Amino acid sequence: MFVSSSLTGGGAERVISVIANEFSKIPAIDNITLVSIIEDKVSYELNKQIKYIPYKGINENKLIRVIKRFSFLRKTIIKEKPDVIISFATQVNIYSIVANLGLKTKVIISERNDPNRDPIQSTVRKIRDQVYKLCDGAVFQTTDAMNYFEKVGRFPRTVILNPLKANLPEPYEGIRESRIVTVARLHPAKNLPLLISSFKNIIRKFPNLTLEIYGEGEEKNHLIELVKTKGITERVFFKGFSNSIHNDINAAACFVLSSNYEGMSNAMLESLALGIPTICTDCPIGGARMVIDHMENGLLFPVGNQEKLEQYLELILEDFSLREKFKENSIKIRERLSSEKISKQWFEFVKLILTE
């Protein structure tokens, strides 16, 4: 049984849908159930063998909502009788562990962000650390994240990177278009003002250059106002959520991830797989440095360092041979992170936990 907050357009939700779909192809697995406990909206396709059970709550006060979600999940576990629960992200992990108390089902959690900073509230982080001691196993995206939880408990753990989508378009062939792209939730953690400010400072050298920002989020209005203040509204485009994101960005000159902290960015992985020259912050919790070899298949810059970001943007935009080198090297990630390979790693870890 997989447990997620929803199946809307988030990174964790995409990964859980990919793994569930791959598991549905494994003969040794009889039944797969996917439970969402926050929203019942679906943005990702599931194979017909997967049973989808969403929580359909109505407008309730916070305490009632929490109690009903725990009750819903526990009743679902009892009814479905899974051998193992695989849950994604802190809030859902806590729900899954607590809802399973006293039952025989194993629980594998997956942490998807920097545990030092997410959740923001220190009290919630302390609760998380105590509850996680009750899990049967844990999967992390980075070694740094895994090491954080050494102090929490001695449950089995492993690092598994995110899988790539199986149907990514082929890398773009031809002269790249004069545009920078980013794909991110419009949230303070993504530090998009840094990218916007850097873009403003380099456009005098690149008169046709544009910036496209894909994604939605709470910072959208603030970012729009920032762009207006800087006088670059005709050069910066807020594209929202796209169902054809890979085709939309494939011909771009450069992809940038400017986050202050990040788990393992799916957008970054897909940019590398498409061969788009990629610039990322070397931010906690170490996801970018696990896949980007600086100056070999992309560029890493220190968190918040606008001068270095501007330098690297100009380098990418001006150096054709470097762009081609990055493309040749970065597309190798397609084999390393194929959905089949990553799902096999998950399956092997599940088997390990079931034999513990």
pLDDT tens track for 91-145: 999 999 999 999 999 999 999 888 988 888 999 999 999 999 999 999 999 999 9
In sequence order, which residues have a C-beta less than 8 Å from that of residue 125 and are 6 or more positions away?
A: 115, 119
What stretches of 133-214 show up as alpha helix (H) in DSSP? 143-148, 192-202
Question: What percentage of the chain exceeds 90 in pLDDT?
Answer: 85
Q: What was the pLDDT predicted at 320? A: 96
User: Which tokens go with 348?
Assistant: 């092997």
In sequence order, which residues have a C-beta less than 8 Å from that of residue 27 and are 6 or more positions away?
A: none
Q: What was the pLDDT predicted at 167? A: 86
Q: What is the dihedral of CA 119, 122, 124, 125, to 10 degrees?
A: 70
- State the Cα–Cα distance between residues 2 and 268, nearest whole angstrom: 25
Q: How many CA atoms lie within 13 A of 220 on its CB side?
A: 13
Q: 3-state class of 122 per DSSP?
A: helix
Q: Are 36 and 5 in contact (CB under 8 A)?
A: yes
Q: Which domains does the chain have, with CATH numbers?
A: 2-163+338-355 (3.40.50.2000), 177-336 (3.40.50.2000)
Q: What was the pLDDT predicted at 200? A: 98
Q: Give the H or E element holding residue 50.
A: strand 50-54
**Closest Cα to residue 110, out of 179, 154, 158, 169?**
158
Q: What was the pLDDT predicted at 59? A: 67
- State the Cα–Cα distance between residues 135 and 108, nearest whole angstrom: 6
- State the Cα–Cα distance between residues 341 and 344, nearest whole angstrom: 5
- Report the first-to-last Cα separation within the chain, whole angstroms: 18
Q: What is the dihedral of CA 168, 174, 176, 181, to 10 degrees?
A: -10
Q: 3-state class of 65 per DSSP?
A: helix
Q: Are 111 and 138 in contact (CB under 8 A)?
A: yes
Q: What was the pLDDT predicted at 119? A: 87
Q: Are 32 and 20 in contact (CB under 8 A)?
A: yes
Q: 3-state class of 208 per DSSP?
A: coil
- State the Cα–Cα distance between residues 35 and 40, nearest whole angstrom: 9
Q: What is the DSSP letter of 294?
A: B
- State the Cα–Cα distance between residues 203 and 207, nearest whole angstrom: 6
Q: What was the pLDDT predicted at 11? A: 77
Question: Whole-model pTM?
Answer: 0.89
Name the residue with tokens 């899974």.
82
pLDDT digits (tens, 9 = 90+) for 57-74: 776 788 888 999 999 999
- State the Cα–Cα distance between residues 258 and 352, nearest whole angstrom: 37
Which residues of the chain are modeled with pLDDT < 50?
none
